[in-house]
Structure 1
Amino acid sequence: MSQPLVLLQQKAEPLLDVQEMQLWLEKAVAWGQADSPDAQKDTCLHLSRLRDFLQQLLTHIHNTSSTTETMKRLPVIGQFLGRLCWNPYVTADDTSRRLLLQNLWGLYSEHPSNAVERKANQWIRKVLCQLTTEDDDTATQTLVKHMGVPTTQYHLTVLRKKVALVQENIGKGCSLPIDRSERCSCDRILAASEACVPLVTCAEAAPLIGALLQRPLICARAALSVDFLDALSSAYSSNCLLLEEQTVVSMWYHSLSSLEEAVLSLLESVLANTGSTLHRLEQQLAQSLLPKACAQHCSIFLVVNDIFRSILKQLEGNECIKSAIHTFTNCFIRELSLLQPKMSISLKAFFPQSPQNLLGPLLTQPSEMPQESWRHHLNWLSGSLQRLTEEEEEDEDSSRTGGHHKVFEAWFLLVQCAHWMQATAQLLVTARPEDCDPLLRLLTFYHHPTNKGHHRAQQLVRAKDAWNHLCPLFSVLACPPPIDHLQSLVALLSPNPQQPSLTPLSVLDLLVNFAVFSQKSLSGSTEILQTVVDRTGLVSEAVCVLGSLELRLNRGSCLSSDGNRVHLRIKALQNTLTHMYAAQSPAEKQAHTHPL
């Protein structure tokens, strides 16, 4: 026989016999739930032929363009499959159950186009849910009584087999049919995710959930059900579901609402723990899995970054938020480095809105270059930011030309890379008067990025005043410290309603760095720091600054040729301030809580 004739005969195979379907329906009605010995015996006798018919029915469904067309030709198909689902002698047989479930999934419409298909979808989900979760079914009890198996164990066995079967099916690659009127094999993905909606909290369904979430999206028809993703997100956020790390990352990748909820929940937690040190904050952020997810998927990082950008615009003066953004970026960069060279995505893809000339210099860690190069590096950054802000301020309508956007994005990147601010504060301890202006400009820009509402020009003057008072106070020759400089420093750290005040924490940061890195004796430095924070009430804030400095020193953001001496000074200053904080009343502690 010639090959064309064979193909013609294969295409012309007979359609499903409608009368045979009616006969099988009558059999299913007669069997009922196999309560009687006769029904049980007859079911077992016809099981082999039933499997053959179910296979023919499955082929017919796959070759039909829609569920509506199938139901027009076979109007009793739903009644037939539904009755078989409640016959425990049919569902207990592995092959029969597999074919039965495949027929149900084959009838599920990915995009229901009419009321018939929508109603069919609802019925299919209900049948699948009841089939795997109903524990008080009398037919099941009858079967397990004969088999001697506990009801719960029976249902768990059925559920595990169902999960394994669906997992096997969704693992198959995309295979588009030659005839475009037929269904793509990826249609089963949506149906499987729909069937999982009532099972998201079942531990037995975890492998299937993981397989669905981690399946590559190589076909547009392989999308997951929105109901499934919403149910999964709700169960996970309410701690009703335990998922493996990679499954959680995949869930965030598929569900924007789930990702947004995770980020906002993390930020709420950070803001709630106002007394957290930078070390605890870093632990909290790293344990959230979000930095790892961002490193694996650029799209996730862009969403997280947009949320941070929006929050920063609303709470630009909140040091806790700024520290959280910086710490998160550090965790992300660390996770990204662990993926290299597997990841070939450029950093520009992760930071598309940032000024590209600043991206590399700011993302570079201070520990990645010699300390003697810091000053030149920071001077270049200061000059670049100054030119950017001057261009914006010279434009009369910066909001329309995008100038203000550029300045904000530069500042946002600087907040993400705030390790260079710590290096700036450290260098100001030993800077000469002629060298301090670029460093002070950079530090001021970090706290006051624009002149509109931030009064950057006035703040720069006050920042230099603070530096001019700190230098003589921490001079090795000044013993006792000049009282006039001490009083002026306290005044700078105290808010003044008559004049915009420099952010106290920026001056406090300089003060702590002078106390740690200057050559003044430890006792002299401790006395100055203790006096200033006692008079201003900034004890807890100073403790936080010291803790942050210690952590960044360990990470390499701060370097010193005499590291042992610096660590000893930090510990001694921490002990002094901790005793001072313990001696404060609850009201004083509450009044001066300004987390870093």
Structure 2
Amino acid sequence: MARDSADLASDYQFWLQKLSVWEQASSKETQQDTCLHLSRFQEFLKQMYETLKEMDSNAILERFPTIGQLLAKACWNPLILAYDESQKYLIWCLCCLMNKEPRTPGESELNSWIRSLLSHVLSTFRFNLKEVSLFAENLGYELVDYCPSLLKNMVLSLVSELRESHLNGLNTQSRMAPERMMSLSQVCVPLVTLPDFEPLVEALLTYHGREPQEALSPEFFEAVNEAFLSKKMILPTSSVVSLWFRHLPSLEKATLHLFEKLFSSKRNRLGEVECCIKESLLPQAACHPAIFRIVDEMFRFVLLETDGAPEVIAALQVFTWCMAEALGKENKQMKFSLKTYFPYGAPALTAVLSQHPEAIPQRHQLQPLLHISQLLREAVEDPTHGSQQTPFESWFLFIHFGGWVDLAVQQLLRTEAEPPEGLLWLLAFYYSPQDGSQQRVQTMVELKALLSHLLMLLRGERLSAVDVQKAAPRAPICGQLVRRLLLSLLLWTPEGHPIAREAVTHMAHTDAVTHEIVGFLDQTLYRLDHLCVEASRKLARELLQELGAQV
């Protein structure tokens, strides 16, 4: 926490005068005085940083117009730079002065001057200042001219050293010591957003030593993750995956950051949801089962907390689709079995669910649907075949693959014969997984009666919006399931298109139901866009635009 403003101002003037005295004299007494006050000066730098990090660069210069003089005097004092803590806080304070987006020549000049100070401080991390001076003179440079280029050169040198160390493998004599790796990562914490440091950050993230413990500091991972999430730096996917794989808190924070975007008060369309998910790079990272399992568990928690909110289910389905697409784009053979991604489901069930239902010819779609229903029913209701997991685990696995539910509804609306019991059970389970077997049987009976009535209306001379509205049973069958059947009938049958607008208006009698219908239309349009099905797409888009304006 930053100190009281008056105390900090008093300390600031004290240390500015002290540094001026130390700068002007190099006697033994001055050196002793410096060493005597060094711990207090380090504490001052720490407090100064706590204050500066809460301000932008312009505000800092307004409040502390001589801050540059103070930091420069400290940077060129060899006794101060001899201590790692002094170096660290000096670097952090200097970075606070950097203007991330310089707009004037003065701001650009200030940034350049700060970089020269940073390169000078960083040179002591690896080189003795006297050696640097001699090296520069031998090259024909003055030290003041050499320093601005030192930072870039040193970064490239460290990157090369890291790569060579990585390639050396078990050759411990040629590898960078863990202590040095830790120290280097700590020095980089305040510098991760500087463009010159990006190669070093990437090299550190992708470096894997042979030590049993993590060689990089948690603060480094946190700083990189924060910079990536706030779009202050751009990293290759491989570096981001390595970051999240090596530092679980960063992965959890990235997932929560995505959830905040997806489940804010504003209701995002699924096209926007897909863009957010892909931009997060989480689907690409989730190609590794360890990362997928953690993100999936966080989705599970949100589902439980929201009592299975439709928008959360829809986002989970889009995320699963994006992850499958990422696997396909990388042209990977499945290095890991499906069991590693979905450990709670029966392997046979996971295998059939992971197929793309849209890729199955229409005349063959019923068979895999009935197979899915049979496997789920055994897992949920038959203790001799089922697993030791709760029905929620089977439902959680099932909802990842929402295309099968759409396919089941379409199959029921196309059938001319008795509705298959397996499809009725599948829909009843999807919408009310908490029901017991007796409740689910009752839902199936009511659902069957509703379907029979709807199919009878379709075979009549003329379908009306009033007929569709009256078809909804008064019994306490799940309202979402009823509305899904009615909306599907309106969108997927030629007879439903002319009356769709009127029927939807009758159904959307409350804000909650209107939101639900908007969500269903959005999911339908999202699926149709991916399938490039034009027949129902125009109608779904028009209905979505009209209802969307009301919510």
TM over 0.5: yes
Q: Is the 8 A contact 1:200 1:235 kept in 2?
A: yes
Q: Structure 1 CA distance, aligned partners of 2:429 and 2:334? A: 34
1:301 match: 292
Q: Structure 2 CA distance, aligned partners of 1:579 and 1:131? A: 54
**Cα offsets for 1:74-113 (capped at 9, x unmatched):** xxxxxxxxx9x9489xxxxxxxxxxxx9xx9xxxxxxxxx
**Which one of the candidate residues 256, 259, 266 is aligned to 1:267?**
259
1:199 match: 191
1:332 match: 323
- Greater relative contact order, per chain length (Cα 8 Å cut-off, separation 6+): 1
**Which one of the candidate residues 247, 250, 253 is aligned to 2:245?**
253
Task: Identify if the C-alpha distance between structure 1 residues 537 and 450 changes in structure 2 by more than 3 Å, giving closer, same or farther.
Answer: closer
Q: How many angstroms does 1:135 deviate by?
A: 6.4
Q: How many angstroms does 1:448 deviate by?
A: 1.3
2:539 match: 572
**Which one of the candidate residues 204, 214, 218 is aligned to 2:206?**
214
Q: Structure 1 CA distance, aligned partners of 2:463 and 2:542? A: 23
Q: Is the 8 A contact 1:448 1:454 kept in 2?
A: no
Let me know the Cα RMSD of the aligned residues: 4.1
**Cα offsets for 1:18-63 (capped at 9, x unmatched):** xxxxxxxxxxxxxx98999xxxxxxxxxxxxxxxxxxxxxxxxxxx
Task: Identify if the C-alpha distance between structure 1 residues 283 and 407 changes in structure 2 by more than 3 Å, giving closer, same or farther.
Answer: same
Task: Identify if the C-alpha distance between structure 1 residues 167 and 576 changes in structure 2 by more than 3 Å, giving closer, same or farther.
Answer: closer
Q: Does 1:532 align with 2:507?
A: yes
Q: Is the 8 A contact 1:210 1:247 kept in 2?
A: yes
1:312 match: 303
1:365 match: 356
Identity of aligned residues (%): 26
Q: How many angstroms does 1:475 deviate by?
A: 3.3
Q: Structure 2 CA distance, aligned partners of 1:322 and 1:291? A: 16
1:439 match: 423
Q: Structure 1 CA distance, aligned partners of 2:251 and 2:512? A: 40
**Which one of the candidate residues 412, 420, 444 is aligned to 2:404?**
420
Show structure 1 runs of 5+ residues with no match. 1-31, 37-82, 89-100, 105-119, 493-498, 590-596
Q: How many angstroms does 1:194 deviate by?
A: 2.0
Q: Structure 2 CA distance, aligned partners of 1:417 and 1:532? A: 27
Q: Is the 8 A contact 1:167 1:211 kept in 2?
A: yes
**Cα offsets for 1:280-303 (capped at 9, x unmatched):** 2222212221101112x3221121
1:474 match: 458
Q: Does 1:487 align with 2:479?
A: no
1:496 match: none
1:166 match: 158
Question: Structure 1: which amino acid aligns with 2:277?
Answer: L
Q: Structure 2 CA distance, aligned partners of 1:286 and 1:225? A: 28
SS at match of 1:159: helix
Task: Identify if the C-alpha distance between structure 1 residues 310 and 177 changes in structure 2 by more than 3 Å, giving closer, same or farther.
Answer: same
Q: Structure 1 CA distance, aligned partners of 2:279 and 2:244? A: 16
SS at match of 2:199: helix
Larger gyration radius, structure 1 or structure 2: 1
2:516 match: 541
Task: Identify if the C-alpha distance between structure 1 residues 128 and 427 changes in structure 2 by more than 3 Å, giving closer, same or farther.
Answer: same
Show structure 2 runs of 5+ residues with no match. 1-21, 27-72, 96-113, 122-132
Question: Structure 1: which amino acid aligns with 2:344?
Answer: Q
Q: Is the 8 A contact 2:349 2:372 kept in 1?
A: yes
Matches within 5 A, 1:369-448: 369-391=360-382, 403=388, 405-432=389-416, 434-448=418-432
1:520 match: 495
Tell me the number of residue pairs that the alignment of Structure 1 and Structure 2 aligns: 445
Q: Structure 1 CA distance, aligned partners of 2:117 and 2:326? A: 49
Question: Structure 1: which amino acid aligns with 2:399?
Answer: V
Q: Structure 2 CA distance, aligned partners of 1:482 and 1:475? A: 16
SS at match of 1:220: coil
**Cα offsets for 1:196-246 (capped at 9, x unmatched):** 123223221111001000123444366211221122223334444443443
Q: Is the 8 A contact 2:380 2:391 kept in 1?
A: yes
Q: How many angstroms does 1:184 deviate by?
A: 6.5
SS at match of 2:508: helix
**Which one of the candidate residues 306, 313, 316 is aligned to 1:322?**
313
1:117 match: none
Deviates more, 1:437-446 or 1:158-167: 158-167
Task: Identify if the C-alpha distance between structure 1 residues 576 and 159 changes in structure 2 by more than 3 Å, giving closer, same or farther.
Answer: closer
Q: Structure 2 CA distance, aligned partners of 1:202 and 1:447? A: 51
Task: Identify if the C-alpha distance between structure 1 residues 177 and 516 changes in structure 2 by more than 3 Å, giving closer, same or farther.
Answer: closer
1:511 match: 486
Q: Structure 1 CA distance, aligned partners of 2:198 and 2:276? A: 26
Task: Identify if the C-alpha distance between structure 1 residues 545 and 195 changes in structure 2 by more than 3 Å, giving closer, same or farther.
Answer: same
Q: Is the 8 A contact 2:446 2:473 kept in 1?
A: no
Q: Structure 2 CA distance, aligned partners of 1:441 and 1:539? A: 27
Question: Structure 1: which amino acid aligns with 2:283?
Answer: P
Q: Is the 8 A contact 2:357 2:407 kept in 1?
A: yes
Q: How many angstroms does 1:130 deviate by?
A: 8.6
